[in-house]
Copies of this chain bind each other. A is one copy, B any other.
Amino acid sequence: MKKIFVVGIGPGEAAYMTPAAGAAIAESDVVVGYTLYVELVRDLCAGKLVESTPMKKETDRCRIALEHARKGRTVAFVCSGDAGVYGMAGVMCEVAENDPDIEIITVPGITAACSGAAVLGAPLIHDFAVISLSDLLTPWETIEKRLLLAAEADFVICLYNPKSMKRRDHLDRAVEYIAKSRSWETPCGYVKNIGREGEYSRLCTLRELKDNEDIDMFTTVFVGNSGTRVINGRLVTPRGYQI
């Protein structure tokens, strides 16, 4: 059977990539991915054909993977974090829709919600929502509605893509929506460059997420629920155990 592995390599450091991800790359003839991610697994690519493409060429990358698979080559398509959370596993299935003889296998990885939460402590211990603030592919009205309802539901909220070069004010607007049903003093936190050189994290309040120049496109943001608190410098959402 022809195979494309869509592989989540985790945050970047080898210590957080699963053996299953390494095995999928080892089994493959071709490694496809965004240049930066391919560099993170360069050690595993010896003797393989490597096809790296610049950012934003997502469907092109899928087509390259598909072409190799059609020729009978096993392909590892690498993504950072989890291939199934805002990753390439979905669009790869869409692009290969007319090739039912090619098996698409998702190899999960540690997504930023989980790796970032670990850095901050334990914010995701109770029900949570994950929302991307990128409006490149999603109408802003949809994002806004999700923010409002997630806040109303008292979910812990994890925000991906809080800012970009072109979108400086999305996080500020998101914080305003969340604050409609959550205290400005809600404990929050954010982590930059998770599991990579320059990893940096900070705890703050919901108010301090606004007008925050420190947060950039490589940052993952966590907003606590109504019970989240800071214990010995760690952001902790209680599950409800009697202590």
Q: Using CB atoms and an 8 Å cutoff, list the residues of chain A in contact with chain B.
A: 6, 8, 10, 13-20, 23, 58-59, 82-87, 89-97, 100, 104, 106-111, 114-115, 117-119, 121-132, 137-138, 142-143, 145-146, 149-150, 152-155, 231-232, 234, 236-243
- Distance in angstroms from A56 CB to nearest chain B CB is 10
Taken together as a complex, chains A and B put the C-alpha atoms of A123 and B93 apart, in Å, by 11
A118 touches B231 (CB 8 A): no
A87 touches B125 (CB 8 A): yes
Taken together as a complex, chains A and B put the C-alpha atoms of A145 and B91 apart, in Å, by 32
B146 touches A127 (CB 8 A): yes
By Cβ-Cβ distance, the 5 closest A-B pairs, closest first, are: A137-B240, A90-B125, A89-B122, A90-B122, A106-B118
CB-nearest residue of chain B to A6: B122
Interfacial chain B residues near A107, Cβ < 8 Å: 118
Q: Which of B19, B83, B153, B236 contacts A15 (CB 8 A)?
A: B19
Interfacial chain B residues near A10, Cβ < 8 Å: 18
Q: Which of B17, B132, B143, B234 contacts A18 (CB 8 A)?
A: B17
Taken together as a complex, chains A and B put the C-alpha atoms of A104 and B95 apart, in Å, by 44
- Distance in angstroms from A126 CB to nearest chain B CB is 7
Taken together as a complex, chains A and B put the C-alpha atoms of A150 and B129 apart, in Å, by 9
- Distance in angstroms from A54 CB to nearest chain B CB is 16
Chosen A-B contacts, 6 in total, with CB atoms closer than 8 Å, are A83-B122, A84-B118, A94-B241, A109-B110, A128-B130, A138-B240
A86 touches B239 (CB 8 A): yes
- Distance in angstroms from A48 CB to nearest chain B CB is 20
B239 touches A90 (CB 8 A): yes
- Distance in angstroms from A233 CB to nearest chain B CB is 8
Interfacial chain B residues near A18, Cβ < 8 Å: 10, 15-18, 110
Known contacts A84-B125, A114-B114; 19 further A-B pairs (Cβ under 8 A): A8-B114, A10-B18, A16-B20, A17-B18, A59-B243, A86-B125, A86-B126, A87-B122, A89-B125, A100-B232, A104-B121, A104-B232, A106-B121, A127-B130, A127-B146, A129-B129, A129-B153, A145-B153, A149-B153
